[in-house]
Amino acid sequence: MTLGSRYQILALAGSGTMGTVYRARDLELDEVVALKVLHASLADDASTIERFRREAKLARRITHPNVARVHDIAEHDGLKFLTMEYVDGESLASVLRARGALPLVEVRRVARAVCDGLAAAHDAGVVHRDLKPDNILIARDGRIAVTDFGIARAVVDRDALTRTLGALVGTPAYMAPEQIEDPDNVDLRCDLYAFGAVLFELLTGERAWTGPNLFVVMSRRLGEPPPDPRALDGAISEALADVVKRAMARQRDDRFSSAGELGDALETCLSSAAEPRSRRPRRPTSSSLAATKTVAVLPFRYVGPPSDEYFADGLTDDLIDTLSMTRGLRVRPRGMTTTLKSIDVDPREVARTLDVQVVVEGSVRRMGTATRLSARVIHVSDGIQIWAQRFDVAQGDFLVAADRIAHGIAEALTADLTTSRRHEASDPDAIELYLRGRRELRASWSGDLSGAVELLESAVARAPADPNLVATWALALSRLAFLQGGATRLRARQAAERAVVVAPNLGESWVALAATRVYFGDQIGAAEALRSGVHRIPTSGRLRAALARVQLEVDVLDEAIRQLETAMQLDPTVPDLTEDLARAQALRGAWTEVDALLARPVDDDHGRLTRAVHRARLDLWRGNAVEVPDAVIAANIAALPLKVLLLQRDVARGHVTHDRLDDLEAEAMLPRPRFSLLLWQLFAELSAILGEHDRALAAVGRAIDGGLVDAAWLRRCPLLAGLRRDERWPALVARVEELAARLRGIVGSEADGL
């Protein structure tokens, strides 16, 4: 798409409170620029646009290498946009999210550049008024530049009708007190205050002012002295802390008088400062990985024989999977978009419903032995089509083309797609079998997986070196072995060992390997496989979820919750994520969080049944009644989980016969090592509720004999409180505690380094 017959949109760079920034090519000058499309609330006001023009003209007077130059303001079909110098790199905000507190040598470099840039702007009579890490750019060549000069001023100086809104312009975490109290009476020292707040964050990894809402954040700086960074890091020198506090002084007359003076003071402190040995970068949390762009991939439209519709489903799933593992994106799970299949939808309405910034849509058309794939990316707030592409491919190139589409979308969204590209075509029949098998695997995750395994096995037989096929086949077999046990365990182990050789960069391979090691009693080897896999593929949500489940069992709850939340950010399509997170919160006694998690929507019959069983279990933990949704009974799937659910309901009501409990015990005795452990745990809980103390204790013993390592459950489950008072309990659980301690050394918070 081209704006004003001059600026060709190349990619979405980011969004902010005032507009959306694109990377664009100036076709007249043949150079890349940053193009900011103003939000309609600003663009529709003629006086504001005139002020933008004046501020842009004023900002053009700043010529300094540490300031991104402003070019002009223009219009296209009602869209108002600014053009600015494009700085190829990342924002300081992105660096802080990923790394936390920076080494002093880097703080010094940022401080010098920003102070020099501010000094040049102030000398030209321009005050920024909204300085923050998002507006400090670090180029790939090391240059540091401050951007967005003049934009905040243009908004603040709106007419009297909007001036009260102008008081809130700026970012609360970095705004000077006078911007809150008297926004019409500010000077260059508000920029010094803002940079003091940025310095606080550079040194500590935390914001200077925090609070549960906007007004708390703003009021704290009005009633409290500036915070001391040494309260968070005692290794920071007193002189450096004093500079930060002076820059953030409540009264502007107590601050430095100029950016140059602040820069000189920082240079004095930082030029001779030794790097404190105790300081280290903050380990990234789930918020560090939080996506900056929200995306919905709509079900791709299909044109062709109805029997081949799974090609469109396969492309949609592949894009969701790949983009979900892309740093910088938050992709809505397929369950939220499935209802939009085969209907005409307005992308803007979809965006409002799903709360996303970007919509991906497209089509799949079968033409004999060839397939035409079309896709486009739309930024919904302004309707700009960021990217569009069409591919005509042979069936064997289907996944290669899907990969090219995913990489094209990621590039258009300026996101970091870390998955490797597929370069080779696969056997056309193998692709067909793979797509059908993967669809069956997802649809039957908690049910009969034999059909999915058969399809995937046939696909691998035709394309034995295709990483995606082999990894998915190994994952399906490992899940089937969990549900069936028996001879399937050996087949699953062989497939997993093959997968880590053929597909070492896919999370499914390592998850399958870890699962099959557990089936053969090697919990230590399983934990080591998961840790190795996460270090190798840190963006795999499935791998992080598997690691978190081990952490959950060995009672490293805070770390398990962190990993589960990170996994949900990376790939919300991983099965049972919400249920595992709810169980972790229940073990902590955080029932409000449990209820919020279990209230999240579920998109299919198997998912609803799994959710109902987990909800029933946790309701029993706290003595609540158990409700069985009519939709779950009507679906009539997965006989054993449904039998367990109905048994849980009747135990809660006190309406249960011993023969039904005997049936569950018989199921637990079947040779399905991992699944049987879960059944023994459920059996122990139900027996404890019914007052069958010895039977419950025996069930715990059977689970431990089978390889149970769930120390958190043994320690914390409310239903086992009576068993924990039994004199036989310490000897019974001693083996678990010993193994759990060894596993904590492998997957615990200090060991994983993630």
- Between 130-134, 535-539, 705-709, 725-729, the lowest mean confidence (pLDDT) is in 535-539
Among candidate residues 709, 708, 701, 750, the one with its CA nearest the CA of residue 726: 701
Q: What mean pLDDT comes out for the span 222-233?
A: 91
Q: What is the per-residue pLDDT for 149?
A: 79
pLDDT tens digits, one per residue of 99-112: 889 999 999 999 99
Could you tell me which residues come within 8 angstroms of residue 196 by beta carbon, excluding any fewer than 6 positions away?
208, 226, 244, 245, 246, 247, 248, 255
Instruction: Please name every residue paired with 67 in a beta bridge, in sequence order, or none if there are none.
Output: 146
Determine the Cα–Cα distance for residues 618 and 718; give it in Å rounded to an integer: 10
Model pLDDT, residue 107: 95
The kind and range of the H/E element at 40 are helix 40-43
Strand partners, 306: none
> Residue 474: what pLDDT?
97
Q: What is the maximum span of the chain, computed from C-alpha positions, in angstroms?
A: 87
Torsion of CA 402, 408, 413, 415, to 10 degrees: 80
Give the integer Cα–Cα distance in Å for 674 and 717: 19
The average pLDDT across 47-74 equals: 81
Give the chain's radius of gyration (CA, Å).
29
pTM: 0.67
Instruction: Collect all residues with Cβ–Cβ distance below 8 Å to 747 and sequence separation of at least 6.
Output: 527, 530, 531, 547, 550, 551, 554, 556, 559
Catalytic residues: 130
Q: Where are the beta strands (DSSP E) in 110-245?
A: 136-139, 144-146
CA distance 525 to 517: 6
Q: At 704, give phi and psi (nearest 5°).
A: -65, -40
Better-scored residue on pLDDT, 55 or 93: 93
- Full DSSP string of 710-742: -HHHHHH-GGGHHHHTSTTHHHHHHHHHHHHHH
| 18, 42 Cβ separation under 8 angstroms | yes
Q: pLDDT at position 275, please?
A: 60
**% of the chain beyond a pLDDT of 90:** 52
158: region left, alpha or beta (phi > 0 left; psi from -120 to 50 alpha): beta
- Is 587 within 8 Å of 622 (Cβ atoms)? no
Using alpha carbons, list the distances in angstroms from residue 302 to 311, 320, 371, 533, 711: 8, 17, 11, 36, 49
284 confidence band (pLDDT: 50, 70, 90) = very low
Least confident span in 127-136, 140-149, 480-489, 599-608: 599-608
pLDDT at residue 419 in the model: 61
SS3 call for 331: strand
Tokens for 639, please give them.
Answer: 């006989």
Q: How far is residue 491's CA from residue 366's CA, in Å, rounded to a whole number?
A: 36
Do the bridges between strand 358-367 and strand 293-297 make them parallel or antiparallel, or are there none, so unpaired? parallel
Q: Which pLDDT band holds residue 421 (cuts at 50, 70, 90)?
A: low
User: Between 396 and 79, where is the model more confident?
Assistant: 79
The Cα 486–Cα 658 span in angstroms is 28
Average pLDDT of the residues in 404-433: 79
Q: How far apart are CA 402 and CA 426, in angstroms?
A: 13
Contacts 24+ apart (CB under 8 A), 270-273: 270/104, 270/107, 270/108, 270/111, 270/240, 271/108, 273/104, 273/237, 273/240
d(C-alpha 272, C-alpha 236), whole Å: 13
Average pLDDT (219-233) is 89
* pLDDT surpasses 90 at 526: yes
Max avg pLDDT among 294-303, 379-388, 455-464, 560-569: 455-464
* CA–CA separation, 195 and 200 (whole Å): 9
**Structure token pair of residue 24:** 């664009």
At residue 635, the 3 state secondary structure works out as: helix
Lowest average pLDDT, out of 323-327, 338-342, 574-578, 588-592, goes to 338-342
Confirm if 406 and 399 have CB atoms less than 8 A apart: no
The CA-based angle 333-338-342, given to 5 degrees, is: 145
- Output the six-digit token pair for 454: 């058969």
Kindly give the residue spans of alpha helices, DSSP state H, lying in 72-170. Answer: 92-99, 104-123, 151-156, 163-166
pLDDT band at 540, cuts 50/70/90? confident
Has residue 291 got a pLDDT over 90? no
The Cα 504–Cα 639 span in angstroms is 36
| Residue positions counted in the chain | 754
Q: How confident is the model at residue 169 (pLDDT cuts 50, 70, 90)?
A: very low
